[in-house]
Amino acid sequence: MPSLTQIRALTLVADGDGYVVGSPHTAEYVEVPPLGARIIEWLQEGVDVAECERRAAEAAGEPVDVPGFLTTLADEGLFAEAAGEGGGGDAGFRVRRRAGAALFHPLAWAVYALAALAVPVLLVAVPSLRPSYRDGFPFHTQLLNLVAVSALGIAAAALHEAAHVLAAARHGLRSRLAVTRRLYFVTFQADLTRLWSLPRRARYGPLLAGVAWDLAVLAAALLAQASLAGALGPMVVRLLRALVLLQVTALVAQLLVFMRTDAYALLVNATGCKTLWATKGALLRRYLRRATPADEEHLAGTAAGEIAWARRYLWLYVPGIALALGYFATFAVPGTLYLVRLCLAPIRTGGLGTAAAWAGLAALLIAVVPSLLALLGAARSGLRVLRTATMRRQARRPADLPL
């Protein structure tokens, strides 16, 4: 049996027809019915198990196994100890929480809203501020272009995810940053699982925080170009234009809901779906006649409303994947091959005995290796899906043969 301290540490949030109960230590969350929520509330108030069973039986009209209910919660990991996070009052987390409180105060959100209005106004009113693909090449040397644009991109992505972390910390929630990929794109990602411990309306701030900072950085870069271009110097202006191109690209990419971007997280929160991604996958495999027993079990236990949203989501997901693959074939592969040829040209001409050759080799490593790692990851995922489908077909063959 869990201790009273462990039970009182649980968070309980109304969400749709049920309640989300979770552990702030392990970031594990499960949905329970209203009666389960009432049992947890009684236990948190100090009511003993026998009295909880009596009250629950009276409410349900039949006996209720409260110890079994607690065992189920324990099996889900809700009573596990914190794993290497330190205490809730450690200095680093206190700093993040204070920073989050300042950067995502209502007044700060007003500034972000002004930035969101200023960006389209500036881009429409001042045509010279509009980004071009040429802005991705601020220098004459390919290595400098790669280093500068990569550094700007990494810094912008890190700021975006840091905004999520700080906005979550404002609510007393911890989150972690990870380097991952979406499809074949390398990216950063903040783990915002603990947002389930907040009411649905309170989740919008942390979910929108990354886009808010993207807009603020973009607005600042545009305003600096518009008002300080003469004082900043041509090199700084070129870097600002590269930053504008990156930020516009990042904001457009966030709208690609089929890649589980911030827009996807907002869609899930707005619709109240709990397993939209998994339901979409199970539904798609059913349509392709590749559904597993686990898929059918998942769909059978999923609410009709969530399945309806999964069907709508497929109308975004399938065309989105096709668009991404089309971009990959049309731009990513030819662009990468072109870049490789540019980087190898000085090596072929003078071997590795010149500075230009070493610069080309460095540019090759910086530009190509991360993309190749992401592509290998995507290829492994695709092969795993094909292997699973082949194994299922082979497993069905004996049943199809006459005996």
Task: Count CB neighbours of 332 within 10 A.
Answer: 16
Mean pLDDT in order along the chain per 10 residues (403 residues): 86 87 82 92 93 93 92 87 55 90 96 96 93 82 79 90 94 80 63 88 95 96 89 90 91 82 90 89 89 91 90 84 73 71 79 79 74 67 61 45 36
Residue 189: the pLDDT is 79
Give the pairing of strands 176-182 and 185-191.
antiparallel
Q: Strand, coil or helix: what is 22? A: strand
H/E run at residue 14: strand 11-15
Tokens representing 15? 């969400």
The pLDDT value given to residue 62: 92
